[in-house]
Amino acid sequence: ERIGVLGIPFSKGQSRVGTEYGPEVLRNGGIVRKLQNLGCHVQDHGDVEVIQVENDDPEENAKNPRTVGLTSKLIADKVERVLRSEDICLGLGGDHSMAIGTIAGNARVEPDLVVLWIDAHADINTPMTSDSGNIHGMPLAFLVRELESYVPKLPGFEWLSPCIHAKDIAYIGLRDVDAGERKIIEKFGITAFSMQEVDKYGINEVVERALRAVDPEGKRPIHLSFDVDAMDPTLTPSTGTPVIGGLSLRETYYIAEEVARTGRLSMVDVAEVNPLLGDEKDKKLTVDMTISVIQRFFGNRRGGCYPPGYDIP
Ligand code: DIR
Ligand code: MN
Ligand code: MN
Ligand code: MN
């Protein structure tokens, strides 16, 4: 399997410094070598160029709109390029506004993709429903066709048109959802498994239902967007908006192993690692946990695995 790794050193979709160092700490943690050890053919495509627009005043309450919008276009172009030559793109963020570009770029290559969004948050605020004005809480609103009339064209976003349907999205891990987001989920019938449903049905049932809801026939490409705050903050403390009561390591591994097993992953986003938050121990734990989950998405199974072609020596 050919994996293209792409760094997205970006933080302007939210207000804390640090997520721009996500790609660096994940690379330093050995992510490329660890994927190679699984037998994957890994090509590191370096970092996307990020843009910083001067005097980027808020528009319709959204902060840094030009910076986020124009950087998202560069991300989309680069993701498209990577996916034309590789089987899967691994996008190392970066705050979660990165998904505007990664999903837009992926959809150019895989127009029939579905989105699995693993997050404590729904990230589907429109600029008007958002309290924070942070665009990392809005990426899906810019991408969903049914929301087009609810979302103003922000400066920097002229290039973007919505590319997915509300019914193509499934959430797992939600536990901090704003009122406007909840209304959107219900009004447009978005599949959403909060921690309440994870507790009620168990992670195995939740993953199966999520996959079946977006793709009953099991043949569409999967864009997996993983916000590390989906996991419990005891596991990934170095992140900007931790929420207690999150996914356990085993639940997260289960999601990753099952999604890998479909063989239909086209892109994995890894968002919101912020190595400047917490102490050294928090940072190391967050990076270690994140890398261990990424490996599960690319074939590392708890039951054991070996590279293609391997036999008993
Ligand atoms: C909140 C928090 N819903 C917002 N969102 C976060 O700012 O829109 N997303 N933290 O990851
Ligand atoms: Mn989140
Ligand atoms: Mn569709
Ligand atoms: Mn998020």
Which pLDDT score, from 0 to 100, does residue 186 have? 98
For atom 5 of ligand 1, the residue with the nearest CA is 137
Split at pLDDT 50, 70, 90, the class of 1 is: confident
Which pLDDT score, from 0 to 100, does residue 12 have? 98
Distance 310 CA to ligand 4 centre (A): 38
Split at pLDDT 50, 70, 90, the class of 275 is: very high
Q: Which of 63, 176, 236 to mutate for ligand 1's pocket (most ligand atoms within 8 Å of CB)?
A: 176
Which pLDDT score, from 0 to 100, does residue 264 have? 98
Q: Residue 79 above 90 pLDDT?
A: yes
Which pLDDT score, from 0 to 100, does residue 308 have? 85
Structure tokens that stand for 256 in this block: 């990753």
Q: Do 121 and 137 contact (CB within 8 A), yes or no? A: yes
Cα pseudo-dihedral 114, 164, 214, 299, rounded to 10: 10
Active-site annotation holds for 168: no
Q: What is the mean pLDDT of residues 123-130?
A: 98
For atom 10 of ligand 1, the residue with the nearest CA is 241
Q: What is the mean pLDDT of residues 184-195?
A: 98
Tokens 């908006």, located at residue: 241
Q: Residue 68 above 90 pLDDT?
A: yes
Strands (E), the chain: 2-8, 41-47, 88-93, 114-118, 169-174, 191-194, 222-227, 265-271
For atom 2 of ligand 1, the residue with the nearest CA is 137
Distance 311 CA to ligand 4 centre (A): 41
Which pLDDT score, from 0 to 100, does residue 212 have? 98
